[in-house]
Chain A
Amino acid sequence: MLWLIVVQLFTSCDEVNFPASKLSGTWKQVAVLEDGVEDPAQANSCYLLFEPNGICRFSHNTFTQYAGSPTSFYGTWSILDDTWLNISTDKWQMIASVTTDSAKVNLSYKKNALNQTVIDTTTSVLKQWSKYHIQSRFTILKLSDNELEIRLKTFVGEKKYALLFAPAAADFVELKVEPGKVNYSPKLITDDNYWTTQKEFRTLKTYIYRFRKESN
């Protein structure tokens, strides 16, 4: 019994692997690896700000080409069991449907100025994608005073159509909506890209994100 107490006494204050206090501050994304292959296009594209009260804010310029779009976004963060980093972010799930008879993607149409029938992109994408806020759990590989390295195994689609952390502008379209409303969405799903996008949501890949500390 005495030994148990002694063991408890000397292990109860062990230093944690990755203390949350080290995460607080601003981090600049310096590299992204997809299945071990570095993608230079994604480097230096995002800044993260972890605040001590559990709020995570991040900044990127993916949507700046659309008038009035935000450049900073937010979610929450926490470290679990000194090993995992939980970050909640906005994600989109593809809910585009196909017709039962010809397996064609359902789209909305409108008349243009020349009275021609054209695809109504805004109405269509709003029916094809569902936005939600969900937690992603990263494994912390490294967390020092200057470096942060985290790993996430997820579906390609889950990564592409989420704010993890700076999505590629090419995967999104501008929505012509009223000022003040979210004016971007994942791209229009048509017969040309329906199955490839479906496949993206069924393909697992491992992503490693590397960050460098900018300020405390």
Chain B
Amino acid sequence: MEAKSYQISLRIMKITTLRQLTPFIFLAFLGVVFTQCETDTVSPDNDFIGTWHQTARFINENVATKDSTRMLMQVNDNYICVLCDSTADAKKNNTIVKRTGWSFKDDYLNLAVDLPASWKVTVANSVLTMEKVDFTTFGTLQKTTIRYSKFPAISF
């Protein structure tokens, strides 16, 4: 009799515990439901930060002259990017150091100075490759690729 009563009270305890846990299980389940469609965002932020020296430039995969408006590029973690402009005009006007903002959106790099064009960026083995496309006057697309290599940090 006593054993039966013990079994009943144990069953009641189990039911009570289950009832208490049900809201938490439900909430956890909802959490799973509402997060299952999120995608992982990949941001090359960390690899992108640093000082970079331009080594090559290509137009539609053909070798082109380097872009002297950004021979050196320092990307800071405060979303400021410093470009070293070595054009004759910049030297004459003493405007070699140019600051601009940067951010990544949907894996594309927005450099404020280049908007509306944005860059597709890849970093591998201390080599930074930036690609962008622009319309030509004929309505065709022209792809510009700039390649940089890692450079020791410089204080401006």
Contacts and interface: CB of A to CB of B under 8 A. Distances in A.
A55 B116 contact: yes
Contact of B135 (A55, A71, A215): A71
A52 B108 contact: yes
Interface residues of B, number: 21
Contact of B105 (A54, A57, A64, A72): A54
Contacts, number: 54
A12 B110 contact: no
Contacts of A5: 29-30, 33
A117 interface: no
Contacts of A59: 135, 139
Most A CB atoms within 10 A — which of B108, B116, B137?
Answer: B116
Interface string A40-66: 000000110101111101111100100
Range for the number of chain A residues in contact with chain B: 20 to 34
A157 B115 CA distance: 29
Interface in A70-109: 71-72, 74
A61 B139 CA distance: 8
A49 B106 contact: no
A26 interface: yes
Nearest to A74: B116
Interface in A112-159: none
A105 B37 CA distance: 59
B106 A53 contact: yes
A18 B5 CA distance: 63
Contacts of B139: 28, 46-47, 59-61, 71
Nearest to B119: A53
A53 B141 contact: no
Contacts of B118: 51, 53, 55
A61 B106 CA distance: 30
